[in-house]
Structure 1
Amino acid sequence: MKHIIPYIAIILLATVIIYSNAEKERTRITERCQDTFSDAIRTEKKLLIKQFCMQYRQENSPNSLSVEDKKDWYDQNYLIATSPSRHQLDSLFRDGAHKINRNISTAIGYTFNGKNYFSGDESCRKSVIPVQECVYRKDTISTTDIALQAYIHIPFYVPLQNTYTYAVVLMASVALAVCFLYTRRRKKNMTGIPLQELPETGNVTPVIPRKVQTEKWMKLTDGYQWNPQNHMIEHAGKTVILRGEALRFFQKFIVDKHFFLSYSEICRLYHLKEETNGAKDRAYHSIKQLKDNVAELGIEIKSIRGKGYKLLFSHRNRQII
């Protein structure tokens, strides 16, 4: 058995390294597809909407949504009415994903007026994963929201097709060969020497009970606490749990003493060296998701033109920030 252990260890180590690298590659492909979907939405609007005329008066608006949000909603409403199958968007997204890798399968979908549309085969819907969802609103009634979804299917072998994987396989093969030669030579040298068995002992390793960690809260500002272990915000007896992109952005906000997140820091979140429109679009939807999550706690997110976003903790605490 002791001769097999080195081989098992080498194979397990190589498998873990390859799997970890494949997951990173899968994440990188998914993030690039998110940018591709944002680019496809902008390109579709440029191709199909040549002119847009609108009269808007803020004082007559029954809600606090910006004119840009409402314009985006009417753009999507027009595109759905013109082409319910959204063939142009589906084609643009597929072409962009194929530039990343030809083996990636794509599909789009949308939810509007109680209708759920999916461009792919329904039998394949369970095998695809959602990579992006863009929600457009014209008022505070959620039933009128338009939600665009992007889906991709990455075959298992696609993340493995890179130089790093081949290098790990090569090194593992060399290590197995060296281990085999060493074991074979050692067996020859040990021929005729009886093996000594280890005496059995009655010692039992004591079981050390695991320490239970108590919840730790971190004060953000007066009346607001943050639990980094469970990703919870607490204020005035109310608690909100953050997940996904909203969690990533909130963690970046609270690192800064002024609760400010610049566009350059957002680009670093997406592993980009410079600001891009795709990154700003993704940040806009993620910030919007975070804003909806923390609104009931009196937390607001203010957009600072050309600079980034700032977190505001209710009206009475703004001076503290």
Structure 2
Amino acid sequence: ARGGIRFDINGRISGVGVTATATTTKMTPVVDAFEIVDPDTGFAYLTADEDGLRLQNGKIVLDTGTNMKVQGLGFGTSNQFVSWYGPTRALNLCDEASAYSYEKVDGSAYFGGSLSAGVIRNSARTTDITNAATITIGPFGTNGEPILVVTSYGLISGQTIAYPATTAGLDDWEEAVTLWGATATGTNPNRAVNATKAISCSIIVETDGPLGASSSPFSTLTISGGTETLVGTAPIVGDSDGVLVYTRTISGSVTATDNSGGTANRTFIATLTTRTDAVLGTIQSQTISLTATEE
């Protein structure tokens, strides 16, 4: 069976054709360019022409259910990524500490995998949320070459506050938004807030090694700031409650090189020694990752 729409303009053919059998079907657009357009704004999210395929303001997500690869403009805990590969999670929870690899909008990148059969890689990650979390890799063998040791940290915390559908509830919501430093937009029933600001904190993760814990850290990861977002909708008096959701995200990493040489087994221990002004409300996740790579 065949059907479709066919245009013939002075011998130039275009249109859409559909063919079908009892087991297969096929649709074939015959056009110079293809677009998917927002009916409200006229903005073309997806375009295809002789110059290639372009996706704007969208994301490509390849998800196995365990790990996922995401590509798109501005996503992650602070809209910092254009590409991210790591454990499956919501896009706004993609962060540096959890990633196997990533590329950022500023051009910086990280790759935590193996590039050749000759690479020796040992790594571990803890999700302990206490303020003295620690992770150990080793003892592990070495060929005596320089070993790159990457210590990474990530923390997400937050809280949700509900406001009743009363005049007092609306006033309290507006006051909370102002105190945070944001400006709400719109009018009820569409008044809302979506803002991000930088926060100061003190996170120190000390890594001991290469032959075990010592009095002098092998490397020190110091993080002095992060981001906090405020998202919510205002109460509608006499109708529905309002809400404000606060989310604080802190992350960072440091790389150091073990040039001690020799073939003695190595052990590295990363410990969270300081966590000040970092947690807002309830901790949603905290990770410390330790990776040693020898080529």
Normalising to structure 2: TM-score of the pair? Answer: 0.21
Normalising to structure 1: TM-score of the pair? Answer: 0.19
Say which structure is richer in strand.
Answer: 2
> Highest CA radius of gyration, 1 or 2?
1
Say which structure is richer in helix.
Answer: 1
